[in-house]
Amino acid sequence: MTGATLDPDSRDIEACLRGEGQAFAGLVLRHQQGAMRLAWHLLGHRPAAEDAVQAAFLRAWRALPGPEATRQLPELASQDHREPVP
């Protein structure tokens, strides 16, 4: 399947699988606001919601197939947040 026929999330995931770690930033940018709204609604506490969203994106990154040791976590997904609770 070509990138032209895929939705933006699928294109970014395929790019990540090719070793283009910065493509993960596109996923984060598209989904972080909605994820934060949901987490804040469920948890009622902004710092806890930020931690939950960061942990969710980190789990998504780690769930990508391939050797994790060869992938660098994009800076955007890891900046300005506390260490997530596993």
Residues with Cβ < 8 Å from 5, sequence gap 6 or more? Answer: none
Reduced to 3 states, what is the DSSP secondary structure of residue 4?
helix
What are the φ/ψ torsions at residue 72 (nearest 5 degrees)? -95, 130
pLDDT band at 49 (very low <50, low <70, confident <90, very high): very high
- Verdict on whether the full-model pTM lies above 0.85: no
Q: What is the pLDDT of residues 4-39, one digit of tens each?
A: 678 999 999 999 888 888 899 999 999 999 999 999
